Structure 1
Amino acid sequence: MTRDGDLPGVIPVFPLPGALLLPRARLPLHIFEPRYLAMLDDTLKTSDRLIGMIQPREVPGAEVKRLHSIGCAGRVTAFSETEDGRYMITLSGVSRFRVSKEVEGFTPYRRCEVQWDGFQRDRGGPEHDAGFDRAAFLDVLRRYFEDRNLSTDWESLREAEDELLINSLSMLCPFEPEDKQALLEAPSLATRRETLVTLIEFALRGGMGEDVMQ
């Protein structure tokens, strides 16, 4: 378990629309822009190797994209370099954070002063969802996958732990950035599952007609 005191007060942030990282989950990333290559080089020199994934907010008239107030920090746990100087990395989710303010400085990437309090549960063991009806969940998920022409290993989904299943689908399903933010901010695994089902049902009604879920 990671304690608040073990986490830094300032972290680099990667504002990537639609990319969702959750605690104890893994997010693969392809790093190729010069500013984020610099961010990775600097991150690998630190003891915690943390990068904060955060959703940018579209604000009309703003010169620089604003950031949502809550993101999730991940530790660089794997990386490989290509021959042309790009990186393939994996971030392992550590904890959500709340942005206090953006830090001005000379780095080409953005950094934020962050607070970790309020997200202590993120640094513990896996969550369980006592009210999870897996059969009903997989039924609606199957219809969604068929509607979107997506494929998966259904046997693995039936056997996966609650948190792994719900969080992986939250990260992988092609929802809008604001929907991804709602999944990130869900206060519990049960709330995230309920939000996920609502988004799936909404997508089905929009894509296949209002009577699909009746």
Structure 2
Amino acid sequence: MTLADLPPELGLFPLRDTVLLPRAKLPLNIFEPRYIALVEDAMAGSRLIGMIQPRRDAMDEDDGDEMQPAPLPALYDIGCAGRITSMTERSDGTYAVTLLGMVRFRLLRETGLHRGYRRARIDASSFASDLTDGEDPFYDRPRMITALRRYCRRRGFGARWSVIEQMDDEALLITLPMICPFPAAEKQALLESGSLNDRARTLQTLLDLAGHEPEEGASDHPPS
């Protein structure tokens, strides 16, 4: 795939607290009618879907008027185009699909709703490197694994450590940002990192901060 293969407009799948990274795989369960339509339209065309996060502050807003339809939540500026690589249609008309992350994009402007889902003009020219061979990252891998172990222990998460330790560096730096349950803004920072080395530094910082022991009397979770 080249930038020339990317359509200037994509259907969007806004998904909270989820990012798709280039060269990563993301399984999705598609059951809402608007996103069933999105998948069907993508399969009839480029097979590409624009994964993007809603801004959390927009998701939490309440306009207080139950008689008016809720406004569409604002979106982050950067998303990632994912290509549908597998699709299973269930007997109830819903889909299980897998996306392969291709290239990040900048959202220029939305162009309205089509069959219920949002569409937007996009520009991926700043992210052409996503379509080239991956770089060899330079980072302290043992320190990151140690921080990840501390992070998982503090939050009671299980992990298949034998699998994690066998991943190559690129796979590790693609997988961890997607599976670690960081807040939306932190996941967005990982998505927007300019290079694998930048992502490694951001990931290390997030794991270090999240894995520290809380102060006496402090909660592990901020108040909602």
1:43-89: CA deviation from partner (whole Å, max 9, x where unpaired) = 1101x200010011233558220111110010000111222221111
Q: Name the structure 2 match of 1:56.
A: 54
How far is 1:210 from its partner?
5.0
Corresponding position of 1:76: 84
For residue 67 of structure 1, the aligned residue among 61, 64, 75 is 75
Separation of aligned partners in 2, 1:148 and 1:88:
29
- Percent identity over the alignment is 43
1:209 equivalent to 2:179? Answer no
Question: Is residue 122 of structure 2 the alignment partner of residue 114 of structure 1?
Answer: yes
Is 1:159 the counterpart of 2:159? The answer is no
Deviation at 1:107, TM superposition (A): 2.5
Residue pair 1:19, 1:171 contacting (<8 A) in 2 also:
yes
Q: Which whole-Å CA distance do the structure 1 matches of 2:20 and 2:36 have between them?
A: 19
Deviations 1:80-103 (A, max 9, x none): 122222111100000000011001
Q: Post-superposition, which runs of at least 4 consecutive aligned residues in structure 1 deviate over 4 A?
A: none
Report the TM-score, using the length of structure 1 for normalisation.
Answer: 0.91
Q: Deviations over 1:14-54 (max 9, x none)?
A: 000111100001000000001001111111101x2000100
Q: Report deviation, 1:127.
A: 2.6
TM value normalised by structure 2: 0.87
8 A Cα contact 2:26 2:98, kept in partner: yes
Report how many aligned residue pairs link the two structures. Answer: 206
CA contact under 8 A between 1:24 and 1:126: conserved in structure 2? Answer: no
Cα pair 2:12 2:52 within 8 Å, conserved: yes
Q: Distance in 1 between matches of 2:143 and 2:72?
A: 43
Matched residue type, 1:17: R
1:28 matched to 2:27: yes
Paired with 1:50 and 1:34, the residues of 2 have a C-alpha distance of 18
Give the whole-Å Cα distance in 2 for the aligned partners of 1:150 and 1:166.
Answer: 19
